[in-house]
């Protein structure tokens, strides 16, 4: 079998790829009964039961903001008090929530680290792809945007993980960023998330939800 060629640096631009992503978001919902792609996710929390995978299929039509750079286009959401409280108990539950990701991104932006979340979301999208040509394009965009030493949004990865990515560039796969994604997830969980829970962003939202409950 002839080995698939590696990256074609100038075949499809990042702008063109994002236009395709936008068209995908605007596409009509999947017809009832039509099989969905067989996707799965790594259990980031290390537990034996991955809650993310159980819920992502039912919420896939609503969670359109997992596309790169598309969270900003989401309409204003109003999470319930119970949901906001659940985020403090589980980082994974917060990431599963569209509203949770938006609030967390707002906090990360204040710390100049929102690219960590955007990178993690981009990797999630890449794992859903099965077409070799689409995988090549998305993997290249992620590399140019977040991993390359010349990228404008470079995320902090150790040398071992970065070298593994570089070796995968000749023949990209939809899971080539798994180690890097886990490393960034761990960084956000252990470093950013505790500060988020003590931030005015989260505390103000929690107070607002409590006032709403009292008013009703």
How far apart are alpha carbons 51 and 98 in whole angstroms? 15
Q: In CATH, which of 3.40.50.1860, 1.10.167.10, 1.10.10.10, 3.90.79.10 is domain 81-215?
A: 1.10.167.10
pLDDT digits (tens, 9 = 90+) for 62-118: 443 344 444 443 345 588 999 999 999 999 999 999 999 999 999 999 999 999 999
pLDDT in tens, 115-167: 999 999 999 999 999 999 999 999 999 999 999 988 888 899 999 999 999 99
The answer to whether residues 129 and 135 touch, using CB atoms and an 8 Å cutoff, is yes
Helix axes 114-128, 132-142, angle to 10 degrees: 170
Taking the alpha carbons at both ends of the chain, their separation in whole angstroms is 66
Residue 183 has pLDDT above 70, yes or no: yes
Residue 25, pLDDT above cutoff 60: no
Q: What is the Cα–Cα distance from 37 to 153, expressed in whole angstroms?
A: 30
Q: Could you write out the DSSP letters of every residue in 128-189?
A: H---HHHHHHHHHHHIIIIISTT-TT-----HHHHHHHHHHTTS--TTTTHHHHHHHHHHII
As a whole number, mean pLDDT of residues 181-205 equals 96
**Does the pLDDT at position 48 exceed 80?**
no
Closest CA to 68 of 136, 132, 113, 114: 114
């Amino acid at each position: 079998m002839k080995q698939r060629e590696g990256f074609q640096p100038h075949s499809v631009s990042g702008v063109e790829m994002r236009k395709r992503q936008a068209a995908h978001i605007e596409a009509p919902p999947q017809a009832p009964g039509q099989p969905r792609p067989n996707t799965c996710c790594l259990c980031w929390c290390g537990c034996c039961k991955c809650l993310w995978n159980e819920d992502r299929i039912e919420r896939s039509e609503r969670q359109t903001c997992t596309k790169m750079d598309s969270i900003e286009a989401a309409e204003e959401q109003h999470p319930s008090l119970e949901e906001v409280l659940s985020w403090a108990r589980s980082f994974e539950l917060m990431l599963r929530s569209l509203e949770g990701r938006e609030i967390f991104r707002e906090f990360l932006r204040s710390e100049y680290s929102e690219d960590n979340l955007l990178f993690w979301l981009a990797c999630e999208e890449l794992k859903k792809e099965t077409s070799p040509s689409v995988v090549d394009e998305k993997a290249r965009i992620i590399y140019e945007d977040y991993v390359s030493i010349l990228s404008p949004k470079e995320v902090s990865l150790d040398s071992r993980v970065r070298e593994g990515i570089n070796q995968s560039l000749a023949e990209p796969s939809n899971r080539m960023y798994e180690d890097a994604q886990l490393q960034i997830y761990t960084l956000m969980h252990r470093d950013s998330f505790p500060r988020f829970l003590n931030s005015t962003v989260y505390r103000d939202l929690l107070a607002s939800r409590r006032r709403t409950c009292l008013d009703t």
